[in-house]
Amino acid sequence: MQKRVLLVEDEPEIRHLVETHLGDVGCDVTAVGTCRHGEALVASDTWDLLILDLMLPDGDGLDICRLVRQSESYLPVMMLTARSAEDDRVLGLDTGADDYLAKPFSVLELKARVRAILRRSDAYANAASEAESRPAEQLAHEGLLIDINRRAVELDDIPIQLTAKEFDLLLHFARHPGRVFSRAELLDQVWGYSHEGYEHTVNSHINRLRAKIEKQPTEPRFVKTVWGVGYRFFDPRIDDSPAHARAVS
Ligand code: CA
């Protein structure tokens, strides 16, 4: 089945390049050149992938990305940019983009990245439809309740709104209580990036997650910092043991 791709890019050459080559890999590409058009099409139609230029004549591609991330349904986003500074990459991923391609890019890399994103979102959609047919599966830690099928979280019976990535991160931790993950491992296992340079993204997501689920984000109960290594989730065998109580008292 053809994948519907919306491209928001003001440079005609790049639009042509993307349209041609993603057509080769079974994508039906709709291309527009302004934020205004992009936002209108995001709101009025359904898409399998959104490809956004960073600098558009009437605004910033990141604004469209933010808009998309506020909606409940998950739409994969890939950012394109002429600048390749680390800050831009981090900003793109922090805003909720799934991947990032710096111009100039090779056609092979474009196709490979798009295929990888679509593969991941297919796997996610399959898992989600399978999950719906199974009975509810929940994880509970202290007052924190994670409903895996509904992708919903409650703290002391109060619903907590998490973004898709914050939920994935929390679920990954909660499935492995006590296990220490480095930032690179979390990027690999939660974001699906194996390359270096995005570690800052992990920190900022963890800070936002803590602000939502921790009563005292500076003294986290659930997501703990392991200095010089990374992070781990609350584990009653470690955190509530008499030895630990003695150690911290
Ligand atoms: Ca541009």
Read off the tokens for 16: 């042509």
Domain CATH for 240: 1.10.10.10
Q: 123 with 170, same domain?
A: no
Q: 102 with 162, same domain?
A: no
Q: 62 with 139, same domain?
A: no
For residues 169 and 219, give the distance between their C-alpha atoms in angstroms, rounded to a whole number: 19
Q: 50 with 146, same domain?
A: no
* pLDDT score recorded for residue 98: 82
Q: Please, which residues have CB within 8 angstroms of residue 65's CB and are 6 or more apart in sequence?
A: 50, 52, 77, 79, 92, 95, 96, 97
Examine the fold and report which residue of 75, 99, 129 is the final residue of a domain before the chain moves on: 129
Q: 124 with 178, same domain?
A: no
What is the whole-number distance in angstroms between the Cα of residue 177 and the centre of ligand 1? Answer: 44
* pLDDT score recorded for residue 249: 37
pLDDT truncated to tens, each residue of the chain (249 aa)?
Answer: 799 999 999 999 999 999 999 998 889 999 999 999 999 999 999 999 999 998 899 998 988 998 888 776 779 999 887 765 666 666 666 677 888 888 889 999 999 999 989 988 888 777 777 766 665 688 888 889 999 888 999 999 999 999 888 999 999 999 888 889 999 889 888 887 665 667 788 999 999 999 999 988 889 999 999 988 899 998 877 787 554 444 443
Comparing CA positions, the residue from 72, 223, 66, 67 lying closest to residue 146 is: 223
Q: 187 with 74, same domain?
A: no
CA 158 to chain centre: 24
What is the whole-number distance in angstroms between the Cα of residue 52 and the centre of ligand 1? Answer: 9
What is the whole-number distance in angstroms between the Cα of residue 32 and the centre of ligand 1? Answer: 12
Q: Per the structure, how many domains does the chain have?
A: 2
Read off the tokens for 12: 């005609």
126: number of CA atoms within 13 Å, CB side?
6
What is the whole-number distance in angstroms between the Cα of residue 189 and the centre of ligand 1? Answer: 32
What is the whole-number distance in angstroms between the Cα of residue 104 and the centre of ligand 1? Answer: 12
pTM equals 0.58
139 C-beta neighbours (distance < 10 Å), count: 15
Q: 209 with 187, same domain?
A: yes
Examine the fold and report which residue of 129, 146, 171 is the final residue of a domain before the chain moves on: 129
Give the domain extent around 45: 3-129
Q: 125 with 50, same domain?
A: yes
216 C-beta neighbours (distance < 10 Å), count: 8
Q: 50 with 164, same domain?
A: no
Q: Could you say which DSSP state residue 13 is in?
A: H
* pLDDT score recorded for residue 78: 92
Examine the fold and report which residue of 97, 129, 161 is the final residue of a domain before the chain moves on: 129
12: cis peptide before it, omega within 30°?
Answer: no
Q: 18 with 110, same domain?
A: yes
Domain CATH for 12: 3.40.50.2300
Which of helix, strand or coil describes residue 94? helix
Q: 21 with 118, same domain?
A: yes
Q: What angle do CA 80, 67, 152 make, to 5 degrees?
A: 115
What is the whole-number distance in angstroms between the Cα of residue 81 and the centre of ligand 1? Answer: 7
Q: 115 with 172, same domain?
A: no
Whole-number CA gyration radius for the chain = 20
